[in-house]
A = this chain, B = another copy of it.
Amino acid sequence: MIDPKHIEAFAQIVGKENVYSDKAHLIAYSYDATRTRYEPDAVLFPRNEDDVSRILRYCDTNHIIITPRGAGSGFTGGALPANGGIILGMEKHMNQILEIDLQNMVAVVQPGVINMDLQKAVEAVGLFYPPDPASQEYSSLGGNVSENAGGMRAAKYGITKDYVMALRAVRPNGEIIRAGKRTIKDVAGYNTAGILIASEGTLAVITEITLKLLPKPKFTKAYMGIFPSVEHAMNAVFKSLAAGANPVAMEFLDSLVVHALKVKLGVDLPEDAGALLIGDVDGNVTEEVAFQLEILERAFKANGATDFHIAHDSDERNKLWFARRNASPSITIYGSKKLNEDISVPRSKLPEALNRIYAIGAKYGFKVPCFGHAGDGNIHVNVMVDGSNPKELEDGHKAIEEIFRLVVEMGGTLSGEHGIGTSKAPFMHIAFTEAEIGLFRDIKRAFDPNNILNPGKMGLPA
């Protein structure tokens, strides 16, 4: 329980109507997409950057823990108040698109803006914001920056960090920091925006984001390749890219996912497909689209594709993408609880990585349906267990740890796009040396000497 005098002080700063410590609010702000729960002591809705600064300064002085929160849709607990304290909620007031600058092709947004709202706003004026995490309909751009969100289009267009031109942020001591500029080149001073991206709200509270926009490509076509095995499909991925293909997306579904889509949703897919690759190519001229599709078709067929299908209209394209979009909901046929991890390995290691992951699953008797962003090496690995069976849960977590060790051994990372938060924190020692974790601690201390900002995340001290 927080001292009522602090609640009073917060009300002085942001107004009574923006401070909540009733049970309903504490519960509402206790969870995210991990389904783990940690109750905060209070929930504050700052109205502007000045509120953020004053709240932080107060909390720093009084050693009150703060967890910044966008939409609370994270998969690893980044926005959970794992050590209590207050939630700084950005969705209520700090949710405005401040500017779409057509001349310099940038958007300036507050952290609470929903990803899709920005995408729609810029597409309405002929521009394009590529990062499209699966959560794009409900995740916030502040969260996207804090976790360095990826998405389907990363194969061609990169991830959130590739679009962040500038940030405004508040340090725990209340100081306002501008990092970066509305210019493509800026090499004056340390790249503080670079370290704030993916820092999971542990270093500073982001209050404004300037994002790079692109011209919207004029033509897009979807494709699907059907392969006899995961190995064939994965070879086709890196061989087509090495041959010069530059697809917007190159998404992978394994045979378990294909089966689940047929059984659960009646999706019309070949029963004997060992793996599918589904994606888009784009271009400003139809010849570029054709050029891309030709490279893909050639490389897919040279690597055993039994079919290469091009969607010729938007209905056909929606049908292909329906399969990909429903991969995650369909696989619940394999177990009531899904232990899902978003590992990433160098693309050439995908065939071996997946085969070894299936072998780990088989050892414990689990189905491990896999799907995801093969074009950039980032695969969602789902160990399906019976959530009501403690032994299965325990084994499932053992399998996950084995998978992490394997991925790290193959030059991969614990997380391609979900982050570390609370849920992967126990595995940090697998991926990083003592020296590397020591550096993370030193960086954290430099930004936040009193450790009030989201402590205990990413394996950092609680």
Which A residues are closer than 8 A to B by beta carbons?
101-106, 126, 147-148, 150, 154-155, 158-159, 161-162, 171, 175-178, 181-192, 194-195, 197-199, 215, 238-239, 241-246, 283-288, 290-292, 344-348, 373, 376-378, 411-420, 424, 428, 431-433, 435-440, 442-447, 458
Partner of A446, one of B154, B191, B437, B446: B446
The reply to whether B411 and A182 contact each other, CB–CB distance below 8 Å, is yes
Q: Which residues of B contact A175 (CB under 8 A)?
A: 435, 438-439
Cβ distance A339 to chain B, nearest Cβ, rounded Å = 17
The reply to whether B285 and A413 contact each other, CB–CB distance below 8 Å, is no
Given A187-B418, A188-B432, A443-B446, 19 more A-B residue pairs with CB atoms under 8 Å apart are: A104-B377, A105-B242, A150-B187, A154-B184, A161-B194, A171-B439, A176-B433, A181-B346, A185-B373, A185-B416, A187-B416, A191-B197, A194-B194, A283-B288, A284-B291, A285-B288, A285-B290, A442-B446, A443-B443
Cβ distance A56 to chain B, nearest Cβ, rounded Å = 13
The reply to whether A103 and B242 contact each other, CB–CB distance below 8 Å, is yes
A244 and B284 in contact, given A177-B439, A439-B192 (Cβ under 8 angstroms)? yes
The reply to whether B188 and A414 contact each other, CB–CB distance below 8 Å, is yes
Partner of A182, one of B148, B290, B346, B433: B346
A458 and B189 in contact, given A104-B238, A346-B104 (Cβ under 8 angstroms)? yes
- Which of A185, A215, A437: most chain B Cβ within 10 A? A185
Q: Which residues of B contact A376 (CB under 8 A)?
A: 183-185
Complex alpha-carbon distance, A148 and B185, angstroms: 9
A413 and B126 in contact, given A189-B420, A446-B446 (Cβ under 8 angstroms)? no
The reply to whether B192 and A195 contact each other, CB–CB distance below 8 Å, is yes
Cβ distance A244 to chain B, nearest Cβ, rounded Å = 4
The reply to whether A187 and B417 contact each other, CB–CB distance below 8 Å, is yes
Complex alpha-carbon distance, A412 and B180, angstroms: 10
Q: Which residues of B contact A154 (CB under 8 A)?
A: 184-185
The reply to whether A181 and B442 contact each other, CB–CB distance below 8 Å, is no
- Which of A290, A420, A436: most chain B Cβ within 10 A? A436
Q: Which residues of B contact A442 (CB under 8 A)?
A: 446-447
A186 and B435 in contact, given A194-B191, A215-B244, A285-B287 (Cβ under 8 angstroms)? no
Complex alpha-carbon distance, A447 and B245, angstroms: 40
Residue of B nearest to A197 (CB): B191
The reply to whether A191 and B183 contact each other, CB–CB distance below 8 Å, is no
Q: Which residues of B contact A447 (CB under 8 A)?
A: 439, 442
Complex alpha-carbon distance, A8 and B274, angstroms: 64
Complex alpha-carbon distance, A246 and B217, angstroms: 11
The reply to whether B185 and A377 contact each other, CB–CB distance below 8 Å, is yes
A102 and B185 in contact, given A194-B194, A447-B442 (Cβ under 8 angstroms)? no
Complex alpha-carbon distance, A192 and B436, angstroms: 9
Q: Which residues of B contact A126 (CB under 8 A)?
A: 244
Give the 10 A-B residue pairs with the shortest CB-CB distance, closest first. A194-B194, A446-B446, A103-B348, A185-B416, A175-B435, A215-B244, A184-B376, A287-B287, A186-B413, A188-B414
Partner of A159, one of B184, B412, B444: B184
Q: Which residues of B contact A194 (CB under 8 A)?
A: 161, 191, 194-195, 197
A417 and B185 in contact, given A126-B244, A288-B284, A348-B104 (Cβ under 8 angstroms)? yes
Complex alpha-carbon distance, A61 and B59, angstroms: 37
Residue of B nearest to A173 (CB): B435
The reply to whether A183 and B344 contact each other, CB–CB distance below 8 Å, is yes
Q: Which residues of B contact A377 (CB under 8 A)?
A: 104, 183-185
Residue of B nearest to A286 (CB): B287
Residue of B nearest to A416 (CB): B185
The reply to whether B182 and A436 contact each other, CB–CB distance below 8 Å, is no
Q: Which residues of B contact A184 (CB under 8 A)?
A: 154-155, 158-159, 344, 376-378
